[in-house]
Chain A
Amino acid sequence: MVAHSNVTLTKADFASDQMVKWCPGCGDHGILAAVHNVFPKINYRKEDYCIVSGIGCSSRFPYYVNTYGFHGIHGRPAAIATGVKMANPKLSVWITAGDGDSTAIGGNHFMHIIRRNMDVNLIMFNNRIYGLTKGQYSPTTKQGQVTKTSPFGVIDYQLNPGELVLGVRGTFFARAIDTQSASLQTVCERMAAHDGTAVVEVLQNCVIFNNGTHQDVTDKDLREDRQLWVEHGKPMIFGKNRDKGLVMIGRSLKVVKIGEGITEKDILVHDETTEDTGIHTMLAQMRPPEYPMVFGVIRAVKKPTYNQMFEAQQEEQMAHGAIRSVDELLNSGETWEIK
């Protein structure tokens, strides 16, 4: 368990002396502001936060937050953070990683840290492009898109990170948007409270190399009709007039209009705690224009964390194990005396 601060912290406690070097208008600024605001609210001791990153624009993040931080190498933040958390379970460990770090070069580590339910929080900056290397496609780039390395259009099928998280039965998956700070902060608070790997996919805009990639859901005029913010125990309703909702017909989710024979009571109620990944996966898969895109906490399931189970074994052995010192170890088993 991470200890709470006994003094009131403010945003200023987490401001770093480093000049923020992201491009003007980059979505990363919004995520940074959200974290600066939310860390004091989470209220752990400021020395107990540790931010670990990989490589990419998003991975400069640790330098801009005055906590302990480690800027790793491409794709490996999940592996590094695993070591940090196992070495010192009393730290609140945060990973900031891009779509490349998480789903391309670091796909293996991303998958396994989630599968193990390591007790860390992972903010995935999904701008669907390699920004720091100036505009090559990533696994989350839309098929057909022209980029530096796909002059005739991307032929890779697009990866949906949420499906990956749910495919390995992640215990926490949320989605948020860089420019919608209040909801992003709420999600971050929920992540801190969650025991296990908490992943948020943040739709982040790369203003230089992939400007507007998320526009079909983030655009001011479209967003109310295309963003469905789910809340546990509440019907999944969206739309400018709050008149659209999701229902289950057969084995599929359908968008229906409330009124015309359908009432709010017919709308599916969100259950983030169900162990079954079926509906969570369907929610994560939804895309406009047929569906809205789902945001907020899609899944938050209680399951023992890797760290809890690891420490339980360790405590048991340290309390009752036969060998208590290296001297005892050296003298254990078959030995004999030469006189």
Chain B
Amino acid sequence: MSEIVGSKSETLSHGHDVHKHRDVQGAKLGMWLFLFTELLLFAGLFLVYATYRYFHPVQFHNAGLETHTLFGTINTMVLLTSSLTMVLSIGAMQRGKKWLAVTFLAGTILLGLIFLGIKYFEWTSEIREGLYPGSPALLNMSDGEILFWGLYYTMTGLHAVHVIVGMIILTFMLVFILTGTINQNDYIKLETAGLYWHLIDIIWIFLFPLFYLIN
């Protein structure tokens, strides 16, 4: 991961030293391509969702009424805010305000944590209602509802994994800012990490209506 983000001089292992290879455009291109693959990863799941929704429109509708729209809405706001703080952090870095950048970045990570916390409560309440893969309550329901909940857990679960990965990357960025690897003149790492964080946000923007709003 950090490699894609990195545009730092590539010191080739043969002793010859070396061109300062710093290609900001190239680093961004690499990251965009990677984001593209992430989108396609989720695209497979969206395809499955679309197929089954087409076959079971009514059952998907009914199952959709059971999700906790309040939790979902709050989480959407949390993630959108985290994208804002991410941008502010990069902006601060561009202007050379190191501690402001650190504060906003820490805020972004914190918001990610809040997102996961809310998700935890949401999932536990649903599991307490007996709505989890393979539960007796679920197996008594119709095919469409089983599929809806299966996809719900798979898709939001995979998204949550991405949030965790994103938080780990941002934590590295935090360390890099503190050690000065990322600075006013060289902040491409922070910028590409920001791109990844926005991707996570965008995927949620699609998941949210599919599971909470289209009833």
- The answer to whether A binds B is no
Interface residues of A (CB under 8 A from B): none
Query: What residues of chain B have their CB less than 8 Å away from a CB belonging to chain A?
Result: none
